[in-house]
Amino acid sequence: MGFDHFLFPVSVLFLVLVCLDLEYRVTSAPICAHGDAGCHLLSVSDLFDRVIQHSNRMHSLSSDLYSEFEKERFLPVRNQLGRATCKCHTSRILTPNGKENAQRTDREELTQVILRLLVSWMNPLLQFHQSVAHNEELSNFSSNKALELSDMVHELKNGVEKVAEKMQLLGIISNSLNGVFPAEASLSSSASNEASHMRDYELLHCFRRDSDKVQNYLKILKCKIVPEHGC
């Protein structure tokens, strides 16, 4: 009751302040109005930060879902002891599995790997969401997270594509990437067929790993291109 009593004058005050056109309006201003080189680099760094943040979120989400599935979906076969060793549909994609290997990989290839991974997961996650939605056993939390996950992959892929374009624009990377994407699309479709046979738990296991890969590769790429900004 006391809070309500307090709320009204506060809201009135807030309205007054807003309407008085004090410094409360949020307006957008471009970071770089003029086209200097330093400004371009700054924007790339900014783009990278956003993308990395996004991939971070995606990875933590997939980890949460995976641990939840691990509890619920433990296969009830006797004498089952440990975890499964799974084959992911993305295992065909060659990815650097160490720091040196990743640093040795050039920027274009690294970018390409990232994009490949992301593209190959778009369809499977969509199917996963559909299967989860139909499953009444799972909680709402899980189904919401699954939906969020598929959206995230899309966004992240778009973000990385934008970064790649920016880099190509600035001449940081060569323009040899353009031909990759259509081919990847066809590959991913076949892979996604295979993925449809996977069970949810296994799918999440694979996806968690791949999202970690993406996050790592993006960080390495950023510190290679713009090392002075927070590396």
Comparing CB distances to another protein, the nearer of 80 and 135 is: 80
Which one among 54, 59, 145, 157 touches another protein, defined by CB under 8 A? 59
Which positions from 166 through 225 interact with another protein, judged by CB under 8 A?
194-195, 197-198, 202, 209, 212-213, 215-216, 219-220, 222-224
Cα 16 from Cα 19, distance rounded (Å): 5
Q: Is 103 a residue that touches another protein (CB under 8 A)?
A: yes
Token match 């949810």: residue? 200
Cα 37 from Cα 164, distance rounded (Å): 17
For the bound state, the minimum distance from the C-beta of residue 149 to another protein, rounded and expressed in Å, comes to 17
Q: Is the dihedral of CA 56, 146, 209, 67 positive or negative?
A: positive
Q: Is 49 a residue that touches another protein (CB under 8 A)?
A: no
Q: Is 82 a residue that touches another protein (CB under 8 A)?
A: yes
Cα 52 from Cα 58, distance rounded (Å): 10
Q: Is 35 a residue that touches another protein (CB under 8 A)?
A: no
Cα 73 from Cα 66, distance rounded (Å): 10
Cα 31 from Cα 128, distance rounded (Å): 39
Cα 86 from Cα 83, distance rounded (Å): 9
Comparing CB distances to another protein, the nearer of 162 and 227 is: 227
Of 83-91, 152-160, 167-175, 179-187, the segment contacting another protein by CB under 8 A is 83-91
Which one among 3, 29, 81, 179 touches another protein, defined by CB under 8 A? 81
Which one among 21, 100, 136, 137 touches another protein, defined by CB under 8 A? 100
Query: Using N-to-C axis directions, what is the helix angle for 107-134 and 180-195, rounded to 10°?
Result: 30
State whether residue 194 is helix, strand or coil. Answer: helix
Give the interface with another protein as residue ranges (CB under 8 A).
Answer: 56, 59-60, 63, 75, 77, 79-89, 91, 95, 97-100, 102-103, 194-195, 197-198, 202, 209, 212-213, 215-216, 219-220, 222-224, 227, 231
